[in-house]
């Protein structure tokens, strides 16, 4: 969020920030871009935030209400409606936030979506599973990423998963689509992509979230003219129409099955997380934080969209628990691929390792790029297999 704030300030916007971080704890490289800041007790308490913001901004001119964090998409829409601002309405925002409403609207446009059902009880989960069949995906209606998302292959597995969903008020029970998983990312102006991106997850996020030993890889695709991607890109553009997208980032996931069928996954009216925007910047040598700001403020996108590289990010998970004690293979990796390494942000020795279930970034990452897909793929998986982090 610091980078998006920077982008807004650099294109000439006066930025008023709202958050629950204490003012004195804001980093210096964020404060310099803020005109003013309102600290609220609970950023997810929408009614309270709206009331406090309304009082705080009284007498000041407001042109946009923006967020790039998924849990606040509806709050930002409510703020726009309260102040009569242009931008996505609450009704439109719900289509990007509520996964069942989302799929219903996309399906109504004649697009292929997984069979699914909204449920709010244990009994409802069992009944939906019976109708949809196994394998099944169970995930929160208003979730983000793959948090609290499970693949279920049998009644026995479902019985083990159900107790873990106690704190989730509503879930989506969904057909599991077996295939390669990709993203379709955009910066839109008036619902039309000014910038488009496709990236591939290796392996699929659900697999990466299930096995601690895996080093997840995401690679942006330099050549988006490939025939195998055409269906996903066409699907993504139609989804934007079906959900009445306006201005800003979108992040969609879609599947390509072994038979070549293209299936919608889900979409958010926000950028992809886990440094995906950084990857897209490295793909084209541009600054999407600034170009997004220009798009939402002035309806212009000025950077080149020429794709120069496949950019691959590799997330590492340390072996053991506690503090990082050593990293092996790193020096040899740099000696082999140093020219193509653009970031190496592995946690330093002595740092407490992170809970890999709570963050895809895990214990840091290596980001490389190369004009050739096979070379980018090779470098990514060399980092996955040849660099090892240890903790104790």
Which residue among 160, 175, 190 closes a domain? Answer: 175
Please indicate, yes or no, whether residues 121 and 160 belong to a single structural domain of this protein: yes
pLDDT, averaged across the chain: 96
Q: Is residue 327 part of a domain?
A: yes
CATH number of the domain enclosing 144: 3.30.1490.20
State yes or no: pLDDT of 148 exceeds 80. no
Question: Does any domain span residue 257?
Answer: no
The domain boundary residue, chosen from 175, 190, 219 = 175
Q: Given 175, 199, 224, which residue is the final one in a domain?
A: 175
pLDDT the model gives residue 246: 98
pLDDT for 149 equals 85
- Name the pairing type of β-strands 262-268 and 341-344: unpaired
Phi, psi of 133 (to 5 degrees): 90, 170
pTM of the predicted structure, to 2 decimals: 0.93
Asked whether residue 84 falls in the same domain as residue 19, the answer is yes
- Say whether both 83 and 122 belong to one domain: no
Give the tens place of pLDDT for each residue, 197-215. Answer: 999 999 999 899 889 999 9
Q: Are residues 127 and 74 in the same domain?
A: no
Same domain, 40 and 86: yes
**Number of folded domains that form the chain:** 3
When pLDDT is averaged across residues 100-108 and rounded to a whole number, the result is 96
Residue 104 lies in a domain: no
At residue 144, the pLDDT reads 61
- Give the pLDDT band of residue 143 (cuts 50, 70, 90): low
pLDDT grade for 217, boundaries at 50, 70 and 90: very high
**CATH code, domain with 23:** 3.40.50.20
In a domain, 240, yes or no: no
Whole-number percent of the chain with pLDDT over 70:
99
CATH at 313: 3.30.470.20
pLDDT for 209 = 86
Share of residues in the chain with pLDDT > 90 (%): 91
252 located within any domain: no
Tell whether 239 is covered by a domain: no
Q: Kindly report, residue by residue over 112-131, the tens digit of the pLDDT.
A: 999 999 998 989 999 999 99
On the question of pLDDT at 96 being above 70, the answer is yes
Residues 327 and 363 in one domain: yes
321-354 per-position pLDDT tens digit: 999 999 999 999 999 999 999 999 999 999 999 9
How do 36-39 and 16-19 pair as beta strands?
Answer: parallel
Instruction: Report yes or no on 135 lying in a domain.
Output: yes
Shared domain check, 166 and 87: no
77 with 156, same domain: the answer is no
Question: How large is the average pLDDT for residues 161-177?
Answer: 88
Mean pLDDT of 24-49: 97
Same domain? For 72 and 130 the reply is: no
What's the confidence (pLDDT) of residue 145? 57
Whether residue 234 lies inside any domain: the answer is no
* Whether 132 contacts 173, CB under 8 Å: yes
pLDDT band at 161 (very low <50, low <70, confident <90, very high): confident
Confidence band of 146 (pLDDT split at 50, 70, 90):
low
Residue ranges making up the domain that contains 34:
2-91
């Amino acid at each position: 969020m610091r980078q998006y704030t920077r982008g807004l300030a650099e294109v000439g916007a006066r930025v008023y920030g709202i958050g629950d971080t204490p003012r004195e704890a804001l980093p210096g490289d964020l404060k310099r871009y803020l005109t003013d800041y309102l600290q609220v007790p609970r950023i997810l308490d929408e009614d309270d935030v709206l009331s406090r913001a309304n009082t705080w901004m009284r007498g000041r001119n407001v042109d946009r209400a923006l967020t790039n964090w998924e849990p606040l998409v509806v709050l930002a829409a409510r703020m726009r409606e309260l102040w009569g601002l242009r931008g996505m309405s609450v009704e439109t925002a719900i289509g990007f936030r509520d996964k069942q409403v989302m799929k219903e609207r996309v399906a109504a446009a004649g697009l292929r979506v997984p069979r699914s059902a909204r449920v709010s009880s244990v009994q409802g989960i069992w009944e939906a599973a019976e109708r949809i069949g196994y394998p099944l995906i169970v995930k929160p209606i208003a979730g983000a990423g793959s948090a609290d998302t499970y693949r279920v292959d049998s009644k026995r597995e479902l019985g083990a998963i159900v107790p873990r969903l106690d704190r989730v008020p509503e879930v989506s029970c969904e057909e599991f689509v077996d295939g390669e998983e990709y993203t379709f990312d955009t910066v839109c102006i008036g619902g039309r992509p000014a910038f488009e991106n496709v990236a591939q997850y290796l392996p699929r996020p659900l697999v990466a979230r299930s096995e601690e030993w895996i080093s997840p890889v995401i690679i942006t695709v330099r050549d988006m003219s490939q025939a195998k991607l055409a269906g996903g890109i066409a699907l993504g553009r139609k989804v934007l129409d079906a959900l009445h997208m306006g201005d800003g980032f979108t992040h969609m996931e879609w599947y390509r099955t072994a038979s070549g069928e293209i299936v919608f996954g889900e979409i958010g009216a926000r950028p992809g997380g886990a440094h995906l925007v950084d990857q897209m910047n490295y793909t084209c040598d541009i600054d999407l934080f600034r170009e997004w700001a220009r798009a939402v403020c002035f309806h212009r996108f000025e950077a080149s969209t020429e794709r120069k590289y496949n950019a691959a990010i590799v997330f590492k998970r340390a072996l053991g628990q506690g503090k990082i004690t050593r990293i092996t293979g790193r020096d040899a990796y740099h000696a082999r691929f140093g020219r193509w390494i653009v970031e190496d942000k592995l946690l330093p020795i002595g740092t407490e390792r992170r809970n890999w279930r709570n963050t895809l970034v895990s214990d840091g990452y290596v980001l490389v790029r190369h004009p050739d897909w096979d070379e980018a793929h090779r470098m990514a998986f060399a980092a996955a297999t040849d660099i090892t982090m240890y903790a104790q």
